[in-house]
A and B are shown apart, each in its own frame.
Chain A
Amino acid sequence: MIEVKNITQSYGKNVDILKDINFTVRENCVTALVGANGAGKSTLLSVIANLIPARSGEVLIDGKAVAKIKTADVAKKVAFLKQSQHFDIRIPVKDVVEFGRFPHCGGRMKDADNKKVSDALEYMDLKYIAHKYIDEISGGQRQRAFIAMILAQDTPYIFLDEPLNNLDMKYSVEMMKIVKKLVTDLGKTIVVVLHDINFASAYADHIIAMKDGKIHKEGSPAEIVNSEILNPVFGHEFNIVERDGKRVCLYFN
């Protein structure tokens, strides 16, 4: 269980990014963090994964403060995938997935580690390009390779920071379907930062809407996706329609 208690974070002295955030991550769910640019979604995710220390407050993983757990042990609980990576260094897909075993084996691959890597490659359908380099494959395949890496990392919690950046609709939908599958098939708990409210509406089980470094409202997509809540969150007029049981926001006004 991951509990977030009274987290604040600021850049410099006056710019508060996060103000007194409290919530508990729902188990076996896809939780989407949504909000306008600068609302603090990515920072919150980084703080929970202990990539950035919180200015005050604490994050508890299974009752233990994350700041007091060794970095390598945090990496056995929480896998974190950041999207703004630019790769000019050539690494084969298989090696990328092997990096996922680093917290467990420190880079010395044993049979059990190789098995996990092979399973992850199989699960993400990457066997046929396992020897290819990540700069030679498509954006969607690269994204799958990194998902395979965090699968090999074998953690109960997975945090994805804007996984749909630079992906077209086809790959975005594929990615979100994979995310759903990880929850239903493998029982993972996933927190994902999404820019597009429609992806959150369609694929998340739980939505946390953030505004100005605070949690504005959290709840199921049915509760969150209505214009009374979303208009102030994004500072934009939404027109929300319902089609096939899913709510879609039209924002091209």
Chain B
Amino acid sequence: MVSVSELKHKFFAFSKSSHGRGEASPRRTAISFAVLSIMMLGAVGLYYYSRTFSKIRYLTDRPIPIPIAEGAIQEVLARATPHLIGMIACAFVLAAVSLSFQTITQSRVLTPSMVGFDSVFIGAQTLIVFFLGARHVLFANPFINYALSAGIMVVVSMLMFGAIMRSHRNNIVFLLMFGLVLSSIVMSSSTYLRLLMTEGDFFQLMARTSVNVNNMNVTIVWITLPIMIGVCAATLFRHRRYNVMVLGSEQAKGLGIHYERELRMNLILIAIGMSAVTALIGPLTFLGLLAVNAAREVFKTYKHLPLFIGSAMMSAVVLIAGQGAMEMIMGAVPVTVFIDVVGCAYVFYLVLKENRI
């Protein structure tokens, strides 16, 4: 006679093995990377195509074709390139900081945007314009402005670090509450301050803070690019430490990780990375989350090196191919809208599945 618990046990043992829960074999990992590389090339091709030839066809495939000026294609291609580079860099940074954030908070559902990192950027811009005016050098000069907002974000993340440390552990509920309160205060007070501004200041501010993938702040691509490469490299080189930190703060400390310093270092990296992304393409809450979890599903490992590279590539593919497709189909709708819809649904799924945050 077989007892119910035995049956249950057998059933679960079976369902575990049938889902192929083992780590992806080196061969499978290599194939996944190859496929991702091809997809990335395809995405880049699609994006260039949508920016140039699909628009040319739109103009020429009509009873009376609209003539294309000579050199127009090269001109458009040259303008699309900084956009493309900006998108790739943002996608990489979002994936990297989301993964490291998930490791330090030991959660698969959180990303830095969810704790209000990007609202700080908007709040900082609003405060600068409100008190100093849009003509002040701190706002008008894009480089100084970027440096200032990145600095403010680092300071805020340090305050957050202090709050986490006071509670003696990675208290995720506390972190989420902090982010929720922070972003609602910042957003509502920014809205209020905007009402008090002059018209000119208001429009300048809106131009700076309503950036998205369609409407990228191209001026600062070249200054944020080295910063974003730096953030990605710094997280990538720490991959062995993240592996140990998967064991939890106390065990990681026991294995010689200076946990507080790692935490602080990571929050600074996240703040710098998020400031660059938010300044370039605005808030993008769910891309990092989607990419990191997709990479976990594909590579089935806790090791951070393949996860970093895989999630960076996935996030770039989604962003670039999605944006290319959107430009072809819908014109002005940024792909981020769709990414957020899908990502939001995925978060619901994750929270329900794992039954925790």
Contact = CB atoms under 8 A, between A and B. Distances in A.
Interface of A: 46, 49-51, 70-76, 78-82, 85, 88-92, 95, 99-100, 102-103, 106-108, 133, 136, 153
B254 A90 contact: no
9 contacts: A49-B254, A80-B251, A82-B250, A99-B247, A99-B255, A102-B255, A102-B256, A107-B243, A107-B244
A85 B240 contact: no
Given A72-B258, A90-B21, 16 more contacts: A46-B250, A49-B254, A50-B253, A51-B250, A71-B253, A74-B256, A78-B254, A79-B254, A82-B254, A85-B248, A95-B302, A102-B256, A103-B255, A103-B256, A107-B244, A108-B240
Contacts of A74: 256
The listed residue with most B CB atoms (<10 A of its CB), out of A46, A75, A102, A108, is: A102
Contacts of A106: 240
- Looking at chain B's contact residues, the main secondary structure is loop
Interface in B216-270: 240-241, 243-244, 246-248, 250-251, 253-258
Given A75-B256, A90-B302, A133-B21, A99 B250 contact: no
A71 B250 contact: no
Contacts of B257: 71-72, 102
Contact of A81 (B243, B254, B300): B254
Contacts, number: 67
Contacts of B256: 71-76, 102-103
A69 B175 CA distance: 31
A106 B257 CA distance: 9
**Interface extent on B, as a size class?**
20 to 34
A79 B244 CA distance: 14
Contacts of B251: 80-82, 85
A192 to B, nearest CB: 15
B158 to A, nearest CB: 20
A41 B146 CA distance: 50
B241 A107 contact: yes
A207 to B, nearest CB: 24
B16 interface: yes
9 closest cross-chain pairs (CB), A and B: A107-B240, A75-B256, A80-B254, A103-B256, A72-B256, A71-B258, A102-B255, A82-B250, A89-B302
B297 interface: no
A89 B254 contact: no
A217 to B, nearest CB: 29
A92 B303 CA distance: 11
Contacts of B254: 49, 51, 75, 78-82
Nearest to B247: A99
A74 B255 CA distance: 9
Contacts of B240: 102, 106-108
The listed residue with most B CB atoms (<10 A of its CB), out of A76, A82, A85, is: A82
